[in-house]
């Protein structure tokens, strides 16, 4: 019998970083910025959180004196700040200096992953740990705490209430983002920029400002994905490259959800599920098969990409000016 009660929570915790990443990327893509730097941003967000937590834990000699509020706020804010800086670099290069978005994004990923692993490595060295990782279990315990009653309510509590607050935040953020995009004026303006910046500009919308805000906000949301991964999923243990390809998977999720963050809530869990499916499907002694299962999210994304492009429904296409720079006085 397939063990759903243990499978679903594990799929959810796998899915949450992807949900953060894809919500952030969707926001950015809706403004016409194809940010391939998201994997780097997520690394940066994660490591900045780790650095914040590490410094705070170091500054309090006695573990019992750690104030939960600060233990959460310090890493949270440093994570947001780090990701914001990445967003600003991307925007400055692509919006002000009109650089090619693909090239800038890829450079950002190189840079961000470099930052993550470099500072991670340095902290590991500083902490004098014997294993090549750094553990922030105290901070993590605050991030990891589930809702009250989670343990008392049996399967219900396990499936719905057992996650740290960032998981619920991820879902809330994606729903709010979906609402803003769909129903509000800000969302309308943002979508119009992604479709046709010249039209938005002529309508008096400040294209640069929207691109900046959407992309930077997107980066900050994506950065939280990195933070969630270290602090909650990995129980505060940072080891280099552990985050893996999740950033790219988040970009895949954007396509899979056809640029709808609300769809992302369930889709991210599906992706998370596909990612760990191999552990739940009896494969006997054949370890190799599990590598093939990990391929599934990418395969379904390609299938969705193909289907939407062959069906040619206008609403399901990528934003029309995705990846293109905009310059008003061009002629």
Question: How large is the angle between the packed helices 68-91 and 101-126, nearest 10 degrees?
Answer: 150
Cα–Cα distance list, 311 to 114, 297, 308, 317 (Å): 40, 21, 5, 10
Look at residues 308, 299, 237 and name the one whose alpha carbon lies nearest to residue 270: 299
Residue 67 or 97 having the CB closest to other proteins: 97
Residue 262 or 301 having the CB closest to other proteins: 301
Whether the CA torsion 134, 138, 143, 147 is positive or negative: it is positive
Residue 58 or 100 having the CB closest to other proteins: 100
Which of 220, 250, 318, 326 touches other proteins (CB under 8 A)? 318
Q: How far is the CB of 51 from other proteins (least distance, A)?
A: 14
Question: Is residue 315 at the binding interface for other proteins, with CB under 8 A as the rule?
Answer: yes
Q: How far is the CB of 296 from other proteins (least distance, A)?
A: 9
The backbone torsions φ and ψ at residue 300, rounded to the nearest 5 degrees and listed phi first, read: -65, -35
b vs e for 201-236, b when ≥16 Cβ sit within 10 Å of the residue's Cβ?
Answer: beeebebbebbbbbbbbbbbbbbbbbbbbbbbbbeb
Residues contacting residue 207 through CB under 8 Å, at least 6 positions apart: 193, 197, 200, 201, 326
Q: How far is the CB of 56 from other proteins (least distance, A)?
A: 22
Question: Is residue 314 at the binding interface for other proteins, with CB under 8 A as the rule?
Answer: yes
The backbone torsions φ and ψ at residue 237, rounded to the nearest 5 degrees and listed phi first, read: -100, 115
Question: Is residue 216 at the binding interface for other proteins, with CB under 8 A as the rule?
Answer: no
Q: How far is the CB of 118 from other proteins (least distance, A)?
A: 4
Q: How far is the CB of 222 from other proteins (least distance, A)?
A: 16
Question: What residues from 34 to 63 belong to the interface with other proteins (CB under 8 A)?
Answer: 34, 36, 40
Cα–Cα distance list, 95 to 83, 92, 246, 325, 329 (Å): 17, 6, 26, 7, 14
Considering CB under 8 A, how many residues would be counted as binding other proteins? Answer: 83
Which of 73, 77, 103, 279 touches other proteins (CB under 8 A)? 103
Residue 158 or 195 having the CB closest to other proteins: 195
Question: Is residue 121 at the binding interface for other proteins, with CB under 8 A as the rule?
Answer: yes
Question: Is residue 289 at the binding interface for other proteins, with CB under 8 A as the rule?
Answer: yes
Which of 129, 155, 184, 279 touches other proteins (CB under 8 A)? 184
Residue 9 or 112 having the CB closest to other proteins: 112
Question: Is residue 282 at the binding interface for other proteins, with CB under 8 A as the rule?
Answer: no
Residue 247 Ramachandran class (φ > 0 left, ψ -120 to 50 alpha, else beta): alpha
Question: What residues from 245 to 274 belong to the interface with other proteins (CB under 8 A)?
Answer: 245, 248-249, 251-252, 255
Neighbours of 115 (CB within 10 A): 18
Question: Is residue 211 at the binding interface for other proteins, with CB under 8 A as the rule?
Answer: no
Task: Find out whether 204 and 185 touch, Cβ atoms under 8 Å.
Answer: no
How far apart, in whole angstroms, are the C-alpha atoms of residue 7 and residue 281?
11
Question: What residues from 63 to 102 belong to the interface with other proteins (CB under 8 A)?
Answer: 89, 92-93, 96-100, 102
**Cα-based torsion angle of the residue sequence 17, 47, 125, 59 in order, rounded to the nearest 10 degrees:** -120
Q: How far is the CB of 116 from other proteins (least distance, A)?
A: 8
Residue 143 or 259 having the CB closest to other proteins: 259
Question: Is residue 279 at the binding interface for other proteins, with CB under 8 A as the rule?
Answer: no
């Amino acid at each position: 019998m397939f063990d759903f009660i243990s499978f679903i929570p594990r799929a959810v915790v796998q899915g949450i970083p992807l949900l953060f990443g894809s919500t952030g990327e969707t926001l950015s893509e809706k403004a016409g910025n194809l940010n391939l730097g998201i994997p780097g941003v997520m690394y940066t967000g994660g490591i900045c959180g780790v650095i914040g937590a590490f410094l705070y834990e170091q500054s309090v000699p006695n573990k019992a004196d750690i104030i939960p509020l600060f233990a959460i706020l310090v890493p949270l804010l440093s994570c947001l700040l780090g990701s914001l800086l990445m967003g600003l670099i991307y925007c400055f290069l692509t919006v002000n200096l009109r650089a090619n978005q693909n090239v800038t994004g890829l450079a950002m990923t190189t840079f961000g992953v470099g930052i993550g692993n470099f500072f991670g490595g340095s902290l590991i060295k500083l902490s004098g740990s014997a294993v090549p990782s750094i553990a922030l279990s105290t901070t993590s315990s605050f991030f990891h705490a589930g809702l009250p009653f989670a343990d008392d309510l049996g399967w219900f509590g396990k499936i719905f209430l057992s996650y740290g607050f960032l998981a619920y935040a991820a879902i809330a953020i994606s729903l709010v983002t979906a609402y803003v995009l769909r129903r509000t004026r800000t969302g309308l303006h943002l979508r119009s920029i992604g479709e046709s910046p010249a039209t938005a500009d002529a309508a008096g919308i400040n294209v640069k400002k929207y691109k900046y805000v959407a992309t930077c906000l997107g980066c900050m949301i994506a950065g939280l994905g990195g933070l969630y991964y270290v602090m909650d999923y990995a129980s505060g243990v940072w080891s280099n490259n552990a985050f893996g390809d999740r950033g790219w998977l988040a970009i895949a999720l954007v396509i899979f959800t056809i640029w709808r963050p609300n769809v992302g809530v369930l889709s991210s869990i599906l992706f998370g599920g596909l990612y760990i499916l191999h552990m739940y499907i009896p494969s006997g002694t054949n370890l190799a098969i599990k590598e093939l299962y990990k391929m599934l999210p990418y395969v379904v994304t390609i299938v969705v990409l193909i289907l939407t492009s062959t069906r040619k429904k206008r609403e399901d296409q990528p934003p029309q000016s995705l990846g293109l720079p905009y310059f008003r006085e061009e002629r």
